Structure 1
């Protein structure tokens, strides 16, 4: 699945540009995550002829030494200078546990692995040799299976995942997605 996913990313010039822009920042543990990968997989599985436009490009990174949220805004500004048509959302995961009211994240990978739904637990980065590095745990399998399930490891309430599915209108946009019964309130 990584090979198939990488082929989709490599065929998308915008996604390659995004990966290179984030790589140039040289942030510790930085990766682009969530819908950047998930939406591309869902689009391919639905055989859409064009990619769903990205609402934003989520960048997760980690440094316990740089916790000021203003620094993330500065990084977003730098990325916006390189790719002005991209809506960037950069977040140091060392402080995001406060916003999510969960146990402290130990790394960017730990944070991504604890996103609300498993199909969103996806991260990708490009190292200094331009090789791709993955953070995908169970996310790739669920994304390709079009399976929406709550990430029990997230520390978040099931209602958070249910709310996200509704607010983001995923089932209308990608009608072949399958919600597990607990997300539909049937369990």
Structure 2
């Protein structure tokens, strides 16, 4: 199994990801990360599908307009025609009916699954990795809800729906756990 160093090295050696991280860095948006299922799939060595987007998240409380997110998406697409998805986490708490997030990393820690609460970015040209819940579930391919999505809590149905919609419950290489 990989340790955090192995995950870091694997992402660092992925040339396509390094190019994408450089483009996100070039946007000049503070606290911007590539995250979630895209990074998880890279770590697991899965073939990326055409439907899979490159999730980019950032935090800007001063400008929470969706139009700004779309401008960033279009800029990224003009540099590299890929399915970019850019979301300002300063407004995404409303979608999950939660108190406002304090930063991009705070928002990532509130994603539904531990293996999705992951992100990477460049800081001064160096890869920075954020694993909100550590590397263990990534290493063991365990789909586990984050604390707010655990069994017995109102948001657990969101976790269950994602497990079903993504077909994780039908895959023999994944282990599903209902509690954090």
Q: TM-score, normalised by structure 2?
A: 0.88
Hey, what does 2:94 align to over in structure 1?
A: 98
Hey, what does 2:136 align to over in structure 1?
A: 141
Matching of residue 81 in structure 1 with residue 78 in structure 2: yes
How many corresponding residue pairs? 174
Are the aligned partners of 1:102 and 1:156 in contact in 2 as well (CA < 8 Å)?
Answer: no
Match among 59, 63, 78 for residue 62 of structure 1: 59
Q: TM-score, normalised by structure 1?
A: 0.85
Are the aligned partners of 1:125 and 1:132 in contact in 2 as well (CA < 8 Å)?
Answer: yes
Structure with more of its chain in helix, by fraction: 1
Match among 36, 39, 50 for residue 38 of structure 2: 36
Are the aligned partners of 2:119 and 2:131 in contact in 1 as well (CA < 8 Å)?
Answer: yes
Match among 159, 163, 166 for residue 165 of structure 1: 163
Matching of residue 124 in structure 1 with residue 126 in structure 2: no
Shift of 1:11: 3.2
Hey, what does 1:53 align to over in structure 2?
A: 49
Are the aligned partners of 1:120 and 1:139 in contact in 2 as well (CA < 8 Å)?
Answer: no
Are the aligned partners of 1:21 and 1:82 in contact in 2 as well (CA < 8 Å)?
Answer: yes
Deviation sequence 1:42-68 (CA, Å, 0-9, x none) = 23xxxx6xx333600111100110111
Matches within 5 A, 1:8-27: 8-27=10-29
Shift of 1:38: 0.9
Structure 2 gaps of 5+ residues are none
Please state whether the residue corresponding to 1:16 is helix, strand or coil.
helix
Shift of 1:182: 5.5
Shift of 1:139: 4.4
Structure 1 gaps of 5+ residues are none
Are the aligned partners of 1:62 and 1:93 in contact in 2 as well (CA < 8 Å)?
Answer: yes
Deviation sequence 1:11-31 (CA, Å, 0-9, x none) = 322211111110111211111
Matching of residue 151 in structure 1 with residue 137 in structure 2: no
Aligned-residue Cα RMSD (Å) equals 2.0
Shift of 1:132: 1.2
